[in-house]
Structure 1
Amino acid sequence: MESIFDKYGGNDFWQKVLNEFYETNIKDHRLTQFFESADIGKIKKMYKCLLASALSDQGDPVHVSIRRVHNPYPISQLEFEAFLENFDQVLEINRLRVEDKVQVLTIVNSYRNDVVKQ
């Protein structure tokens, strides 16, 4: 069975999705503060590796602590929801099947406790 990562075109597709996603996040007044001085290229590279690892059996394991990376940022539940909402919209625009989109968003949401400051 083909993985979600490969089903839509592998690296090229997900790079396009991430380009659109981070362009959306940068323009989103709810999230702009987190991306103003960030190395977006580095963020997209790490996120693509995370997606490849989570959505296919051929992705390399991610050896970065999601919690440690996000620790300096006071990310709230509402801001995390905005992040998920933007990702949902970009996945919809890029025509992921509903069940695949749900699976991707569930995986991303599984990192909520590592990202959000309580």
Structure 2
Amino acid sequence: MNLFEKYGGADFWSDFLNNVYERLTNSDLTRHHFMNKSISHIKEMLLGLLELTLVANSHISEVAMRDSHRPMGITNEEFDEWVNIYRTALKESDVADTDITFIANMLLSYRGVIVADI
């Protein structure tokens, strides 16, 4: 069974993203990236990306990730905050430690194309 379905499919991951974005928009480090943005649209896109990566174990295009994130000026510190928020939300959602590690490593693999100062 793939990781997307293992935890309940779209309903589980939608609730997970609600938790993540509540934390991101309340974080002093990351909230400025979400001002005047449609959080529901962002969550909808990320739900699709989660499904793509966790069902098919696909790798998202690094060019697309770079093109959409570099203009945001994301710092290493902000990126680390985002990954830590993901880890915390996964843990609180009762995701297995091995799956948390897999997902965190997947996120970390994009640091070089998301962080602006690398």
TM-score with structure 2 length normalisation?
0.90
What count of residue pairs does the alignment treat as equivalent? 116
What is aligned with 1:48? 47
CA distance in 2, matches of 1:70, 1:42: 16
Report the identity percentage. Answer: 28
What is aligned with 1:5? 4
Contact 2:53 2:60 in 1 (8 A): no
Secondary structure of the residue that 2:72 maps to in structure 1? coil
Residues 99-118 of structure 1 aligned to structure 2 (within 5 Å):
99-118=98-117
Q: Where do 5+ consecutive residues of structure 2 fail to align?
A: none
Contact 1:31 1:79 in 2 (8 A): yes
What is aligned with 1:97? 96
Contact 1:49 1:62 in 2 (8 A): no
CA distance in 2, matches of 1:57, 1:117: 28
What is aligned with 1:38? 37
Contact 1:22 1:40 in 2 (8 A): yes
Residues 47-66 of structure 1 aligned to structure 2 (within 5 Å):
47-57=46-56, 65-66=64-65
Which structure 1 residue ranges, 4+ long, deviate > 4 Å from structure 2?
61-64
Q: Residue 11 of structure 1: CA displacement?
A: 0.4
1:77 correspondence with 2:66 = no
**For 1:47-77, what per-residue CA distance to the aligned partner results, in whole angstroms no more than 9, with x for missing partners?**
1111111111298x86781111112211110
CA distance in 1, matches of 2:80, 2:57: 29
CA distance in 1, matches of 2:116, 2:87: 22
**Which of the two has greater helix per residue?**
2
Mark the CA change 1:24 to 1:77 in structure 2 (over 3 Å): closer, same or farther.
same
